Structure 1
Amino acid sequence: MSGLDPFDTAALRAAVLSAWTASPTRFREDANAEEDLYLGGYRDRLLVELAQNAADAAEGSGVLRVSLVDNELRAANTGRPLDAAGVAALASLRASAKAGGVGQFGVGFAAVLAVTDAPRVVSVGGGVAFSADDTRGAVAEIPALAARVAERAGRVPVLRLVWAVDETPPSGFATEVRLPLRADVDGAALLAGFAEQAVDLLLALPGLHRIEIDDAVWERAEEPIQPAATAEQSTPAPALDEFGSAAQRLPAPTTDGIRQPGEGARVEIRGPEGVSAWLVYRVEGTLGQDIADTLGVEARPHWTACWAVPVDSDGIPRPQAADVLHAPTPTDDRLSLPARLVATLPIEPTRRRVRPGPAADAVLAEAAKAYPDLVRLVDDEWRTTLVPQAGFPLSEVDDRLRELLLAELRQAEWLPAKGKYRAPARSNVLDVEAEGLAELLSDVLPDLLDGALSAQKHAASLAALDVPRIRLAELVELITGITRPPTWWRDLYTALAPIVDTDPGARAELGGLPVPLADGRTLPGPRGTVLLDGAADLLDLLAHTEVGALRVVHADAAHPVLEKLGAHVGVPIDVLDGLQETVESSLDDAESGVDTSGLVSVVLRLVRDSGVRAGDKPWLGALALPDSVGDWRRADELALPGSPLLDVLDEDSPVGVLSADLAAQWPESVLIALGVLDAFALVVDENPTGPDHDLADEADWWDASPDPPSRVIAVRDLDLVTEDAWPRALALLASEPDTWRALHEAGGYTGWWISRHAVIGGASPGEWRMPEARELAGLYDEVPDIGVDPRVLAAIGVRTELTIDSPEDAEELLGRLGDLDRAVNPGTVLRAHAALAEAVVDEVLEPADVRPPAGVRTLAGTVKDECSVLDAPWLLAVVGEDSVISAGPDFALAEALADLLDLPLASEEVGGEPAPAGEFVPWADLGAVAAACDLLGVDVPEGGAMVHDKLVIQCADGDHPAPWWVHDGIAHCEDTPQALARALAWTTDRWLDRHTLAELIEDPANHLI
């Protein structure tokens, strides 16, 4: 070693050796303590401690350069050179040159022992060296200590005995630490590890602005981002070191505990891998005297705290997922905070963990108070990313800091709320994100945060701060009852529209959303309201008219989102439907003195605009309207002035005349759509349940049908027509398409009623026949010409054909047949009797329901009260035509006709038998018969006939000649073409072909002509 000794290292060695000699146990304690430090607390902290020492020495912006020279690690720094106090501290495991601080264990230099046994510190004022070999040599001369060294296998404390060296630092640097590396240390790997720590060290130690490791360089640049400090605060901030002398440089405190104004900055660290940027906020102060007393120091301890969060090139923070507490260099206390904390906290001798106690609590509390200021440096959009999230704490310090930060953040004003900032503890946020919604509601809900904070990315942070979230259902409750102009509500609906479009659940929660109406009311919920996109004058009319239950949304509030929430599409007819109850009670209201003129105007306007036609909405007929004498009457009880309907109604009819003034104000089509009469009115019911439509004789019509009608389309007020006006009434009915259809409705009420009650030429319609119904000639007279469409006459019951639909029809027909004053053709008589019989067969008639006539018309055209019904054609040979009636050639109808008229069958009255003078001849043997069958295309029947030269029927009243007869199933006939043909036709069941057969039998050649 050199003979120069500017720091009096000889005295320091002598003191240590004396202490060891006096107490060998002290030697062992020092050795153990040193070993604990570099093997435990300072393991892997070499660069950290070298950088910390460089930062402590820095004056302004310090520089640290680390290099490897001939397997010797060298760390040079600028700033204050080594002094005597520093040397004394280096040679003491329990002392520090930083007097008066909580972190009084100035033992960080022990970290060098992890790589070397002979560290040196050279400075511009002199240098010192430590050496394990030199220490062993020094203690070898003291037997007691030599024994201790032997016990420890030659291991000795390295940093207790110090020697002077005559070396100087490199140019431009004040001090350099030189560490010859042990053989087991990889110098290149050591430098690579240092390079990984450079950025963190420059951030943690603002006393350094540059670190050089081998050929790599990292530099720190800083830009303030808050106003310059006041004069009182202009003292330069001390380095972030352990509590100590820095406190002496602060203004003298006037009260216990001083906190200086903080500073914000953007810090950029440029290195080989690029630039890393951070937002930082620093604050410093002194603790109170009570803390100094606890620590056993005279000066109030100085503290500093710095919060730092990495940001990208746009200044957007990139919160950390995990980190460690820096005090100010890294500890082993793990943190889960979004930002890094660098604070001058008291630490344990191992420099691994914070030393618990009031000083640590005080500094952590002060750091927490500064955290909202860091948050305020961030743009509003990203501030919540700096809120500690819920989760298991990574350490006791982490748990404590999270509690403190959340408490401070809850009370600080930093969350944006309509151009200002609010504290979370006095705020709430919407549970849905919708552009403009929160801003619109901020006047109503003053504690509401900006809408951007409703986004899901902010949810966890706001939940950690206990900020209540206002769900849509709760929002509806909060705004129910408030008074706002309709345009405000429309803006609200606009803001809510995207939510309603995409979230079905939102529609249920918004079911009670207030809706302002045109009449000034506000309803709780859109359901049942009507959105009317009508003319301005209509909306104004609605706004100034009391119309009961009408729920038209105010024009300035109307919005499509209301339709999705239950409002009806805004067309006039929907509004009109909303007035049904009010219209139906309008007459009672008018008669009670209520002014219903506004309602009349609204309804008429809506009817006009909606295009409603007469009969579309029958309930409109209940609207109270003024009549010609100033009374109020239902619209459907009034006729238009000058209406042709008035000419056909009875003078005493209940139909009044509409006020001429009102009639002049509105088109006839609008008034008619209300139900005001200009022609006959209709009753329409597509789903009738009974005869309850207030139509004359409706129950009788209902009962007359075998099945209940499936719908009712009927002309009303037919019973009010005067008897002599029916031709005009029918013309009026035929002139309107709707009443025309009602007249022609199959089985409908209108035709049914008119056919029974109308008067044409002094008789009912059913007593006349149409001119073209010639088959009814004689039975019914031709209808007189009354100037009415024949189709109308047919529809109201003027007969077009012979039909029997009821017992009344049958009785009338029989009466006409029995009227000798009527000249009825024989064919008509046969057809009439056949129709009567068919009605019985088809069960249209029950014989018991028809009263037998006084007389019936016979085949001779006479009328008799006693006769029989011809049920077989051969019987005419023995009975007279004036004693039988017939249903025509279909003799199967005879029995039904007999039952209807309560007459015997002719076969029951005649008991004759053929005289036994005939000869049985097979049909096939009758050549003419066989030829006729062949020509007609029928098979020759089996069996044969009894052929007589002259056939005689022996009856009770004597013998009667007959051309043919059937007895016991055997045909008897004379040998004539006519007789043979009739017997053959009856046998082959081709009675209607009898005349053809007769011609073919008589002359087969007839079939060729």
Structure 2
Amino acid sequence: MSGVNDPFGTQRLREAVLAAWSASPTRFREDANAEEDLRIGAYRDRLLVELAQNAADAAGFGGHLRLSIVDGELRAANTGAPLDADGVAALASLRASSKRDILGTVGQFGVGFSAVLSVTDEPEVVSSTGSVRFSAQRTREIPEIQRHVAARSGQVPVLRLVWPTDSAPPAGFDTEIRLPLRADVDQAALLANFREQAPDLLLALPGLASIEVAGSRWTSSDSGDTVVLTGPAGTTRWMLRRGSGKLSDTAGLGMETSAEWLVCWAIPVTDAGVPQPLAEDVLHAPTPTDERLSLPARLIASLPIEASRRRVMASAAVTEVLAEAAKLYPALVFGVPEEHRTALVPVPGFPRSDVDAQLRELIVAELRAQAWLPGVAESLTPAVARVLEIPSDSLADLLSDVVPNLAAAWLANPGHAHALASLEVSRLRIPEVVAALTGISQEPSWWQQVYAALLPFAENDAAIRENLSGLPVPLADGRTLPGPRGTLLADEPEFLSDLDVPGLRLVHPEAANPLLERLGARHAGAAEVLDSLQEAVERSVADASAGLIVSGLAHAVLGLVSQAGGRPWLKSLALPDSAGDWREADELALPGSRFLEVLDQESPLGLLDPEFAERWSADVLSAVGVLTGFAVIVDEEPIGPEHDLADEEEWWSSSGEEPKRVVAVRDLDLVADDKWPEALRLLAMEPATWQALREPGGYTAWWISRYALLDGRAPRFWRTASASDLIGLYDPLPLDLGDDLAAAAGVRTHLEIKDASDAEDLLDRLGDPARLVPHGVSLRAHAALAGSVDVSLIDAPEHVRVLSGEAVDAEDCVVLDAPWLLAVLPPARVVAALDDDAAEALAELLDLPVASESAGDVTGGDLVPWAELGAVVVAAELLGFDLPLEGVIVHDELKANDQRVHWWVDRHNRVHCEDTPDGLARALAWAADRWIDRHVIHAILEDPDPRTVLS
């Protein structure tokens, strides 16, 4: 190639190479083998990488690379430093580089240039300072090496012998590499591969500002922390963090001076700065290697790599650079918004390579040690951070003062789980939350916020609900319980604000939340809350006596009663009296009540504090037992006389049968003796007391009839004005109570003997000589007394009322047991009852003989059939009865006990009579069992005419 300018001394370089080959056939083989290794190792897909690396090295910064195919020749034109002698020497040396100060940089036209051999055997470097060409064909034609060529079947080193050319670079470029493509190269596929690699190369090689591939252009705009790549498909943005330094020890590299390392982390981001983590990538050193990585960001670092430019060389330098890269990685994390930082954490998984494993371990260790993880209050180091199991911002805020190093709640969302697992961030699970909350002191309203924060998660997760079973719950009395089960949620919190009841499991109103009900708290209306206070109510007086404050309980109970009504046990509620003491509600009377006017001045009942009474209605106070009138006790299933009623045991046993129920007015014994008329009227005014007073066999009427005083006497001493069958026996009530009230109080309205006491009282009155008792009243009274009570329960009277109307000594008296005996007995000795059948029972009661025991007998007379007596037949026909079968013994004059009588019945039950209308009438009436018609029969016998019957 005579006449061609040779500014770089290529002839000298050729001569040196040929001399080496001639002197040592081994050297030729070594060069051929080395180049073959480089050609085979430098696959076609690394061609653009090496061309771009050379362009970037030449440019330094802001370089441009243009790739095109012209007449079957690939051309790579670039701006920057043109070719020089050192560069040419490097191209022809195989092992040399013109740059050795940057670790991992082969340098412009270094070993990486061998990648051109994957597409050509005739590479040419055209530069503004001179051009050179390599040629396999020309190398084969050199005579001095024919024997070496023959020995290798025509295979020769291509990049050892260099020749000058007179080609010039295109306008606007300083250098152009021209590669005549072998026939087996797919030109379209080659360009397509270049287009695919162009954006990544601009990112990896900051010395390049643009790459053009067959008319398609990519540009790079580098602002230091951000690189914006623009190409045919649009714009992408990468966030960068760069670092540099010198290795502490380069002995393993065989370098005389300390080498400089460069590190760059890059991650694609949106315009808003949101990172777009990489799923999989390769290590760039700075161009792509085959070292696969699973990191979210791309690592571009100057690392010692093998001659193939595909693998990192195992060395201390690699370890040190990777450690420096890991130290720089948190700076990348700090650059993204807090809510996206975990996207940059390497997630657990199998490493893609040894480098990947090493980097992941180093990066995670760095991230665990630096405070970048968003916390509730400040950024935290993952090594100490704790993340809630549930993503609740409000709960995290509430717990931040309780649980140290608490991370932001949103980190509990599933999208952050893998990153947190990689960082070994501790999870704060629900049981641990409960444990952290146990024993702390907070306001009820704070607890309510905690419950509100937990509620949405507990609603749909049974496991969370189970783990919250021990969640502390503040109660109205100031205590805190370990768990909501068994507590009460009140509907009426306004009544409970001052409630302080030891033992009551009532949730503080300010802490109430539906979560507690889901966890076992019982929703309680006024009635349920009131019932839960029974124990506190029943001990409230004792608590007050012990110095405890019970005013809150009193007002809470009264407020609940206004909603839920009363309960029997509320009578035990401690309420203040007018003297400043606390007493049971049913021991206090309402100020201004008419009930107070009828009580004895020495009554043990107290007066409710007037100021306290003004706060509540009379109905509410009455419902808890405060006396606005007489109190009524109701027991539907009594088991004994245990109701603290005056003389209750006496009443209980008075009837012979135990009462089936008790409906009784209490405190009757507290009524003043002279106030009973007013008291009775009060009892009649209230339905409950009026019902108790009228209860059949009830205590109230029983007690009042015996112990109340009306005009100084018990009500049972008096009779009503209309009680005609008691005239002479009982005095009329001198007060106007009305018959119904008087009767209910025990004032007698008719002749009635309820018990032995009544019978004894009636006998006393019948035997009282001072009383004027009408004959009919006496006869009816004796009839009522007969068989009325057990005679063993009373004593026989000393005086009895006889037919003469007098009360006489009972010693000489008899009880009339047959009407015919009246003819022989004096009225002053005969006690009679209106009912003939009552004689024997009356005699037993009075301890008197019956009259028939001392009566004589009769003799004589003629037995005459009744049918033979004409007037008798007429009487029987007119009155419509049959004549007796037996006849009658008729006497002209009939005597018994030496006294003349008109008729008689002897001991053989035979009927005797005189033949007179009076004697026949009585005998016929008795024999025919028509005794009631005896006077009508007498009249017919005297005048047997139908008009006698009709008139």
Given the two structures, how large is their TM-score scaled by the length of structure 2? 0.70
**CA 1:472–1:75 in structure 2 vs 1: closer, same or farther (change >3 Å)?**
same
Cα drift, residue 674 of structure 1: 4.2
Match of 2:116 in 1: 112
Match 1:276 to one of 211, 236, 243: 236
Match of 2:569 in 1: 618
Match of 2:550 in 1: 599
Q: After TM superposition, list the pairs within 5 Å mapping 1:16-95 onto structure 2.
A: 16-95=17-96
Q: After TM superposition, list the pairs within 5 Å mapping 1:117-266 onto structure 2.
A: 117-138=121-142, 141-150=144-153, 154-224=154-224, 265-266=225-226
CA distance in 1: counterparts of 2:650 and 2:296, whole angstroms: 87
Matched, 1:422 2:373: no
CA distance in 1: counterparts of 2:459 and 2:432, whole angstroms: 20
CA distance in 1: counterparts of 2:707 and 2:316, whole angstroms: 113
CA distance in 1: counterparts of 2:13 and 2:637, whole angstroms: 119
Task: Supply the AA of the counterpart residue of 1:639.
Answer: A
Task: Supply the AA of the counterpart residue of 1:130.
Answer: F
Matched, 1:403 2:361: yes
CA distance in 2: counterparts of 1:755 and 1:25, whole angstroms: 148
Match of 1:347 in 2: 305
CA distance in 2: counterparts of 1:283 and 1:35, whole angstroms: 37
Which SS does the other structure have where 2:279 is aligned? Answer: coil
CA distance in 2: counterparts of 1:46 and 1:770, whole angstroms: 139
Matched, 1:372 2:326: no
Task: Supply the AA of the counterpart residue of 2:551.
Answer: V
Match of 1:915 in 2: none
CA distance in 1: counterparts of 2:180 and 2:717, whole angstroms: 138
Task: Supply the AA of the counterpart residue of 1:282.
Answer: R
Contact preservation (8 Å) 1:325, 1:335? yes
Task: Supply the AA of the counterpart residue of 1:117.
Answer: D
Task: Supply the AA of the counterpart residue of 2:241.
Answer: Y
Match of 2:896 in 1: none
Cα drift, residue 712 of structure 1: 7.4
CA distance in 2: counterparts of 1:269 and 1:799, whole angstroms: 120
Cα drift, residue 373 of structure 1: 0.4
CA distance in 1: counterparts of 2:214 and 2:117, whole angstroms: 21
Matched, 1:381 2:381: no
Which SS does the other structure have where 1:38 is aligned? Answer: helix
CA distance in 1: counterparts of 2:369 and 2:148, whole angstroms: 62
Q: Which moved more, 1:488-497 or 1:413-422?
A: 488-497
CA distance in 1: counterparts of 2:37 and 2:721, whole angstroms: 133
Alignment deviations for residues 743-796 of structure 1 (CA, whole Å, 9 cap, x no partner): 678998767887998889978889999999x9x999x99997977788878988
Q: Looking at CA atoms only, which structure, 1 or 2, has the larger radius of gyration?
A: 2
CA distance in 2: counterparts of 1:465 and 1:181, whole angstroms: 51
CA distance in 1: counterparts of 2:112 and 2:305, whole angstroms: 12
Matched, 1:458 2:416: yes
Match of 2:99 in 1: 98
CA distance in 1: counterparts of 2:54 and 2:696, whole angstroms: 114
CA distance in 2: counterparts of 1:56 and 1:322, whole angstroms: 28
**CA 1:167–1:665 in structure 2 vs 1: closer, same or farther (change >3 Å)?**
closer
Match of 1:249 in 2: none
Matched, 1:393 2:361: no
Contact preservation (8 Å) 2:287, 2:300? yes
Cα drift, residue 558 of structure 1: 7.0
CA distance in 2: counterparts of 1:306 and 1:556, whole angstroms: 57
Q: Which moved more, 1:89-98 or 1:20-29?
A: 20-29
**CA 1:850–1:37 in structure 2 vs 1: closer, same or farther (change >3 Å)?**
farther
Contact preservation (8 Å) 1:434, 1:498? no
CA distance in 2: counterparts of 1:27 and 1:770, whole angstroms: 159
Cα drift, residue 195 of structure 1: 0.9
Contact preservation (8 Å) 1:222, 1:267? yes
Cα drift, residue 364 of structure 1: 0.5
Contact preservation (8 Å) 1:43, 1:114? yes
Q: After TM superposition, list the pairs within 5 Å mapping 1:868-947 onto structure 2.
A: none
**CA 1:467–1:133 in structure 2 vs 1: closer, same or farther (change >3 Å)?**
same
Cα drift, residue 352 of structure 1: 1.6
Cα drift, residue 430 of structure 1: 2.5
CA distance in 2: counterparts of 1:220 and 1:524, whole angstroms: 64
Contact preservation (8 Å) 2:393, 2:408? no
Task: Supply the AA of the counterpart residue of 2:58.
Answer: A
Contact preservation (8 Å) 2:488, 2:521? yes
Which SS does the other structure have where 1:308 is aligned? Answer: strand
Cα drift, residue 46 of structure 1: 1.2
Contact preservation (8 Å) 1:92, 1:160? yes
**CA 1:491–1:369 in structure 2 vs 1: closer, same or farther (change >3 Å)?**
same
Q: After TM superposition, list the pairs within 5 Å mapping 1:658-807 onto structure 2.
A: 658=608, 668-669=618-619, 671-683=621-633, 694=644, 697=648, 715-718=665-668, 728-740=678-690
Match of 1:6 in 2: 7
CA distance in 2: counterparts of 1:349 and 1:702, whole angstroms: 122
Task: Supply the AA of the counterpart residue of 1:165.
Answer: T
Alignment deviations for residues 614-636 of structure 1 (CA, whole Å, 9 cap, x no partner): 843633534153455x6653332
Q: After TM superposition, list the pairs within 5 Å mapping 1:579-590 onto structure 2.
A: 581-590=535-544
**CA 1:741–1:116 in structure 2 vs 1: closer, same or farther (change >3 Å)?**
farther
Contact preservation (8 Å) 1:783, 1:798? no
Contact preservation (8 Å) 1:683, 1:712? yes
Cα drift, residue 410 of structure 1: 0.9
Contact preservation (8 Å) 1:91, 1:160? yes
CA distance in 2: counterparts of 1:708 and 1:360, whole angstroms: 106
CA distance in 2: counterparts of 1:189 and 1:803, whole angstroms: 132
Match of 2:296 in 1: 338
Match 1:474 to one of 423, 429, 432: 432
Task: Supply the AA of the counterpart residue of 1:625.
Answer: P
Task: Supply the AA of the counterpart residue of 1:69.
Answer: V
Task: Supply the AA of the counterpart residue of 2:584.
Answer: R
Task: Supply the AA of the counterpart residue of 1:222.
Answer: D
Task: Supply the AA of the counterpart residue of 2:631.
Answer: A
Task: Supply the AA of the counterpart residue of 2:306.
Answer: E
Contact preservation (8 Å) 2:83, 2:127? yes
Task: Supply the AA of the counterpart residue of 2:236.
Answer: S
Matched, 1:308 2:262: no
CA distance in 2: counterparts of 1:882 and 1:485, whole angstroms: 87
**CA 1:365–1:674 in structure 2 vs 1: closer, same or farther (change >3 Å)?**
same
CA distance in 2: counterparts of 1:281 and 1:635, whole angstroms: 82
Task: Supply the AA of the counterpart residue of 1:303.
Answer: W
- Could you tell me which runs of 5 or more consecutive residues in structure 2 were left unpaired when the two chains were aligned: 768-772, 797-813, 820-833, 839-881, 889-906, 912-951
Task: Supply the AA of the counterpart residue of 1:736.
Answer: E
- Could you tell me which runs of 5 or more consecutive residues in structure 1 were left unpaired when the two chains were aligned: 225-264, 837-846, 855-861, 868-880, 886-948, 961-1009
CA distance in 2: counterparts of 1:51 and 1:801, whole angstroms: 135
Which SS does the other structure have where 1:678 is aligned? Answer: coil
**CA 1:665–1:131 in structure 2 vs 1: closer, same or farther (change >3 Å)?**
closer
CA distance in 1: counterparts of 2:695 and 2:22, whole angstroms: 136
**CA 1:958–1:671 in structure 2 vs 1: closer, same or farther (change >3 Å)?**
closer
Cα drift, residue 193 of structure 1: 1.6
Contact preservation (8 Å) 1:305, 1:342? yes
Alignment deviations for residues 599-622 of structure 1 (CA, whole Å, 9 cap, x no partner): 336624762586268843633534
Q: Which moved more, 1:663-672 or 1:363-372?
A: 663-672
Cα drift, residue 161 of structure 1: 2.5
Contact preservation (8 Å) 2:651, 2:699? no
Cα drift, residue 361 of structure 1: 0.6
**CA 1:55–1:756 in structure 2 vs 1: closer, same or farther (change >3 Å)?**
farther
Q: After TM superposition, list the pairs within 5 Å mapping 1:854-869 onto structure 2.
A: none
Task: Supply the AA of the counterpart residue of 2:234.
Answer: G
**CA 1:296–1:790 in structure 2 vs 1: closer, same or farther (change >3 Å)?**
farther
Which SS does the other structure have where 1:405 is aligned? Answer: helix
Task: Supply the AA of the counterpart residue of 1:645.
Answer: F
CA distance in 1: counterparts of 2:445 and 2:596, whole angstroms: 52
Task: Supply the AA of the counterpart residue of 2:405.
Answer: D
Match of 1:413 in 2: 371
Cα drift, residue 94 of structure 1: 2.7
Which SS does the other structure have where 1:44 is aligned? Answer: helix
